Every structure is written in structure tokens, then in C-alpha cells.
Amino acid sequence: MLHLHYAQRRGDDRRATQEDDVLSYAQSAANGAAASEPLMSGAVTERHEGQQLLDFITHTLDQDKAEDIVSIDLRGKSEIADFLVVCSGRSTRQVSAMASKLSDVLKHERDILTRDEGRDQGDWVLIDAGDVIVHIFRPEVRDFYQLEKMWMSPDEAKADLQRKAPTD
């Protein structure tokens, strides 16, 4: 418990949670828990359906004024997640703030511990929420990488290209 208290005092909630999970697993192993018990007792106990989680995330991002929210169904295309969400924020500050709030809301309202990358820079933040992967970009960075096109079917990509082509 000393590690947990020290980590919380520093404001490092993730490390505190991980250390608490390790400690609780060690205690359950010492008490003769079954070998089939999950390694992390603090892991999500209630499995959220991918679609419900997607709806929750897109609603939260919409409330935070995210722009151009796109959700991509990855079921049958990839094993990494069920859905991918791509959206934009107007500035590095907004991108970082939306990512922080989404992680906090998922943690407190859905008991989902997320992992994220890029929050300090604020150009492109990736949030792994399990069944849903979220990418929050600044518009210029989103235009450069065009992540949505990687998951489009050839017909969708052709239609998108024709839509964006200048007309004479």
C-alpha cells in the first residue's frame, strides 16, 4: 500500500492502479486463488459491448466539439479492435484536452483504463480503449496521414477521391 500512496501523491494514477493490481493479484495467489483467475483483478469486470462503447465515445467527443468524427467498423478486418474513431480538434490544446477528458470519463463512468500516446505534443493523440481505438488529430496532421483511407474499400476510396477532385 505504500507504493499506491506514494504514486497517488505524485499524481500518477495509472502507475498506482497498475501497482494496486499487481499487489491484489499477489495477495489472491498467496490465498490459493485458482490459476484461471485473471492476472489483473482491477481489469474491467463488466465487458462493454463494442457498439455501446463506440456510441459513448462519439457522444463524448461531440460534446467536446470534436470536428469531422468518423467511425470505422474494423470487425472482420482487424483483430486490434472492433471500431476505430478518427476526429479533429482545432488546436494542440483542444486535442490534448479532449484526449484527457475522454480518458477520465472512460475511467470514472465506464471503469475502462485507457492507454494513450501523443497527449503531450497534441498533434495526434491515440487512445486505446480496448474495443475502440480513438485518434484525435489537428486538421493539418489528419490531412497529411489520411488514416481513414487505409480502412476504406476501393469503391469508397474512389468515391472520396472524386468528391474531393476540383471541378472545372
Q: Is residue 108 predicted with pLDDT exceeding 50?
A: yes
As a whole number of angstroms, the distance between CA 51 and CA 49 comes to 6
Assess if residue 102 is contained within a domain: yes
Kindly report, residue by residue over 32-47, the tens digit of the pLDDT.
444 443 333 333 433 3
Judge if 93 and 31 occupy the same domain: no
Pick from 77, 63, 67: nearest CA to 143: 67
Structural domain span for residue 125: 50-152
- Whether the full predicted model's pTM is greater than 0.85, yes or no, is no
Judge if 33 and 70 occupy the same domain: no
User: What DSSP character marks residue 4?
Assistant: H
Kindly report, residue by residue over 122-132, the tens digit of the pLDDT.
899 999 999 99
pLDDT on residue 140: 95
Pick from 1, 17, 149, 125: nearest CA to 61: 125
Judge if 143 and 83 occupy the same domain: yes
Residue 100 maps to which CATH number?
Answer: 3.30.460.10
Judge if 12 and 71 occupy the same domain: no
Q: Structural domain tally of the chain? A: 2
